[in-house]
Structure 1
């Protein structure tokens, strides 16, 4: 509060020069000082702002800003995020007691209808670490969040906007996985490992089998399942792709702080190599996109998650690349379209399907709806043609 008072008692900002730069105002300041509340201390005749002289009103219109800024105690912003598609609109803060101290958990509302759950951790050397615990889309349509309130008693966050009111839980510990290591790496002050699952942390004098490390996120000194989580129980998948078509290898980490890296082990190789993105291969937030497959892309793909000094395998995927001729060999013979207009070439249909998968989710629904309408129209056309032939045969019998 002392810093805020010092700024408002300091110089005003003033636009000057042809480019209207903000500079420090050094001329005379009118009386009573603009920005102060009316008081008999200044002048017994000034009881409300309506009694301010015209000189003060004009000064306020031309000088709405103070020249100096109020900086955080750390000397830098607590949370920054660049190259985003949204702007922050609202903020509420909850003080949460954890095993290793108290933390300020910030809930930041955006103009796109999403809420960012952020915690700022100050280390021993006074450096700060910003961690995004969750990013929730609370409104279906991207409408701005206008108001937010925290109910500590109910452990709920109420979010208001033009579309309505949404109730969100302050903690969703179950999303951090099924192991102690994953729960510890999440670094959520609300959550701790209780020996069975990742659940809400409640401070108590009696120490239970709780595992939590918000400041460092080090599961090796708190958990006994690090070997099981990091080395085994890896999800395995098999994926088939067609040469010259696109293919998407999905892999999403539960932790917002994890760095995802992809490795490939191709037939004949003795060790796996890290995949580097290029014009043909893209690494996205949700997985690996190969724009057009080649026969040499076949092999074993490994999706790994890296946090601090811990690296674990999230996915082991075997990719098989098929030759387009193999698809035609397994398909039944294609009849002439005039014989049955509803028959569509399977190869072209499969290519369209893969192309839709590489696009937005709704494009696949649009594609299916288009095919359905086309087939329905062809069936109606064939039915009308059959009715016309019946009428012609009936007319011939009559004559």
Structure 2
């Protein structure tokens, strides 16, 4: 093929590649949807009960272990292991504490290695039950990990403390995973101080098993970050989930891929080849992407959800949180689910071939002598040829695709770190999956996956500051979620049905845990009610299920309200005439739209000001007195949030009633609304006064100002206020109004000067540019006349001493003319000279003859 043709084809391929990338990016932006939590509960909100355990002497309570009876919670903290009593709902008390701190010598050695003193403590990173009486614990221990056995009853160290290399990371900020199967510990971590030797190992092996690990020289792992591990119900295989560098992709930059790896619990290693090494290790890529979208390639956390009752083990689901290494997806998260049978199918298929000389992968088909991921897990007695094949063929050729090849959830606004999942059955017998997602900002999102797509029922703030390492443990029987952070351990109930006070609120929440009971007229848990419970998780159709509109109480989340209290028909508000009235409207949910209504009247924008928080401002006049109703519309259902009756009250001080013209009254209302708008933005009172003067200025008989005029003046002042409050103030800005500038005329003058400041600058610049153009044109016009002179002439801008040796005639010198106006044409140009200038009469200029 000619060189030119090959180069053309290469350019076409490059253009097609970039075209596809742009198409994918555009499609990705179209597919992203903003999931807004319906209800938010800030930390300390009385509308959502949270139990928090914290102690000033205990930090980094991030490793959690719940007992089988779910009455005790073991917490791995910094230099300690805690035992919390969680047997009673809403209670979390410390029963005992085990101190496990490094010695002063260990701390000094850690500091000598260049580590920060705050990182040289013993951070407990492995906490697993070995049996009913002992827990196996490992800690970083001043960058020299150690492990030990802990007696459950006495919470004391039982046995000798031994080295924990390969079982626990050295660095407290490095992630790891561990699981115990039949008293044997399976771990994924690093086995050296620098973190360059990642391993998947088995320890505490019982005969005929032996401790196994990966061969460091085979390149089975490429800088991995372990996130989770799980055991299948059949207890034959252990799955490890992690992200690593994908060496099978030949890119300029390192490409991160998500993996799932498996080992068999019956593996005992090879007889000659792969002695004390895994013979059943295999890994495959996890793809979290939708068609025509960029994939989310970095896995953050995975949770296994057991299959439904009556179904096979292959229906087990794995829900994982994924992020992206590319800046285009920065700050976004996605949730994908994978079926166990799809993972098994990929491990049972073909494998890529690794060339040990070039360290490159190929997908060429060859004779398959063994399958590392086969179901039998019987390679311990295989031949050396078979084991050599396994050493070079451990990466599955195909990737594990998500269920339906779609994303379960995409959040462009939140970055999730940890996940827990639960399956709940509604009153109709339908099963729904509920995800509990923890964000970096410290909120726990409760997400329901339905046929119409995911929706966030609520978000609960569990801790204030973002934490690098966290843990989430779900207790299905107790109905709570335990969240571990550096600030303490939080206990969050999975449902909050009593918060919803009406049938409409209960149905609109679309919470599979909650339903409206018509008999008790309360929103209750579905397992506690009768057969006439109303709920609609798919559509939230409160219009059909709740035919009688109910008045939602005014206070939404500021106080705890008993279910038996009914809301009054309305609240009386007593005001004086010409007083600015503010009516507040509670927020039903973030998905609802609020608006105000008046019986047999329309809210004119000339008389009323509606704020973003739902509050309504207006001036009390005989026309604005009466009833006001705040209405919320969500999912087609309209409900009343607040009812007010604004009534005039008698003032204790006699006031003179001045009759106002209709136009004057409207102007006064607009002036008051302008004052309210500026004051709510934090404008100084002097500026507010100036703006009100401008808005209400006019003749002796005030004229009716239009909305555009009031909006123009208000916007001008707000814009000037925001510019003067900025940090990068320019030296050309106008001075801020102060108390010294209290004179009305000066205030109005300053305000008006601000209005035309930009125009003045523009005119000045244009004038300077015009003068420059005229000056350049004049110089260009004078240039030919200078060259045509026969005698010794002096051009403008030149030195007159060029021909200084020649004798000069005074009459031959050019005259100095008086400057004429710019609209007149001069007959002669100015001539410059180093000699004393003289006038046309031969004498010095400006002197008498």
1:261–1:274 contact (8 Å) kept in structure 2: no
Equivalent position SS for 1:303:
strand
Which of 102, 120, 131 aligns to 2:449? It is 120
Report whether the alignment pairs 1:259 with 2:592. yes
Report whether the alignment pairs 1:226 with 2:554. no
Which of 535, 541, 563 aligns to 1:212? It is 535
Shift, 1:174, TM fit: 0.5
Deviation per CA, 1:178-221, whole angstroms, max 9, x where unpaired?
A: x33332222211112232111111189xx633222222222354
CA gap of 1:220–1:250, structure 2 versus 1, over 3 A, is: closer
Cα distance in 2 between the residues matched to 1:35 and 1:56: 24
**Which residue does the alignment assign to 2:381?**
none
Which of 523, 547, 551 aligns to 1:198? It is 523
Deviation per CA, 1:287-316, whole angstroms, max 9, x where unpaired?
A: 3376xx767995665432222221112123
1:184–1:192 contact (8 Å) kept in structure 2: yes
**Which residue does the alignment assign to 1:77?**
407
Cα distance in 2 between the residues matched to 1:238 and 1:147: 50
Equivalent position SS for 2:470:
strand
Equivalent position SS for 1:283:
coil
**Which residue does the alignment assign to 2:415?**
87
CA gap of 1:117–1:328, structure 2 versus 1, over 3 A, is: farther
CA gap of 1:107–1:355, structure 2 versus 1, over 3 A, is: farther
- Equivalent residue pairs, number: 288
Shift, 1:96, TM fit: 0.5
Report whether the alignment pairs 1:142 with 2:377. no
Cα distance in 1 between the residues matched to 2:681 and 2:396: 53
CA gap of 1:227–1:259, structure 2 versus 1, over 3 A, is: closer
Larger CA deviation: 182-191 vs 71-80 = 71-80
CA gap of 1:21–1:170, structure 2 versus 1, over 3 A, is: closer
CA gap of 1:80–1:240, structure 2 versus 1, over 3 A, is: farther
Cα distance in 2 between the residues matched to 1:137 and 1:76: 29
CA gap of 1:327–1:113, structure 2 versus 1, over 3 A, is: farther
Cα distance in 1 between the residues matched to 2:440 and 2:577: 41
Cα distance in 2 between the residues matched to 1:259 and 1:213: 17
Equivalent position SS for 2:410:
coil
Shift, 1:271, TM fit: 3.8
**Which residue does the alignment assign to 2:273?**
44
**Which residue does the alignment assign to 2:643?**
316
CA gap of 1:16–1:92, structure 2 versus 1, over 3 A, is: same
**Which residue does the alignment assign to 2:842?**
none
Cα distance in 2 between the residues matched to 1:184 and 1:47: 59
**Which residue does the alignment assign to 2:484?**
160
Cα distance in 1 between the residues matched to 2:488 and 2:426: 33
Cα distance in 2 between the residues matched to 1:132 and 1:21: 35
Cα distance in 2 between the residues matched to 1:190 and 1:236: 34
CA gap of 1:298–1:274, structure 2 versus 1, over 3 A, is: closer
1:14–1:23 contact (8 Å) kept in structure 2: no
Report whether the alignment pairs 1:272 with 2:602. yes
Equivalent position SS for 2:249:
strand
- After the TM superposition, which segments of 4 or more aligned residues of structure 1 sit over 6 Å from their partners? 34-41, 56-60, 65-69, 239-246, 293-297, 319-322, 326-330, 354-359
Between Structure 1 and Structure 2, whose CA radius of gyration is higher?
2
Shift, 1:135, TM fit: 1.2
Deviation per CA, 1:83-141, whole angstroms, max 9, x where unpaired?
A: x4x5212110111110230111111111222211111211xxxxx332221211122x2
1:1-399 matches, within 5 Å, as: 14=249, 16=251, 20=253, 44-45=273-274, 47-48=276-277, 72-82=402-412, 84=413, 86-100=414-428, 101-122=430-451, 128-139=452-463, 141-144=464-467, 146-177=470-501, 179-194=502-517, 195-196=519-520, 197-202=522-527, 208-223=531-546, 226-228=548-550, 236=571, 238=573, 249-253=584-588, 255=589, 258-265=591-598, 270-273=600-603, 282-284=611-613, 287-288=614-615, 301-317=628-644
Deviation per CA, 1:47-103, whole angstroms, max 9, x where unpaired?
A: 548xx999699779xxxx999986543544323333x4x521211011111023011
Deviation per CA, 1:332-375, whole angstroms, max 9, x where unpaired?
A: xxxxxxxxxxxxxxxxxxx9xx969989xxxxxxxxxxxxxxxx
Cα distance in 2 between the residues matched to 1:318 and 1:132: 36
CA gap of 1:159–1:235, structure 2 versus 1, over 3 A, is: farther
Cα distance in 2 between the residues matched to 1:166 and 1:210: 31
Cα distance in 1 between the residues matched to 2:576 and 2:434: 44
CA gap of 1:238–1:154, structure 2 versus 1, over 3 A, is: same
Equivalent position SS for 2:535:
coil
CA gap of 1:210–1:136, structure 2 versus 1, over 3 A, is: same
Cα distance in 2 between the residues matched to 1:273 and 1:69: 60
Equivalent position SS for 1:167:
strand
Q: CA RMSD in A?
A: 5.5
CA gap of 1:275–1:112, structure 2 versus 1, over 3 A, is: farther
TM-score w.r.t. length of structure 2 = 0.28
CA gap of 1:136–1:56, structure 2 versus 1, over 3 A, is: farther
Cα distance in 2 between the residues matched to 1:66 and 1:210: 50
Shift, 1:153, TM fit: 1.3
2:483–2:491 contact (8 Å) kept in structure 1: yes
2:434–2:447 contact (8 Å) kept in structure 1: yes
Cα distance in 1 between the residues matched to 2:360 and 2:440: 33
CA gap of 1:264–1:213, structure 2 versus 1, over 3 A, is: closer
CA gap of 1:44–1:102, structure 2 versus 1, over 3 A, is: same
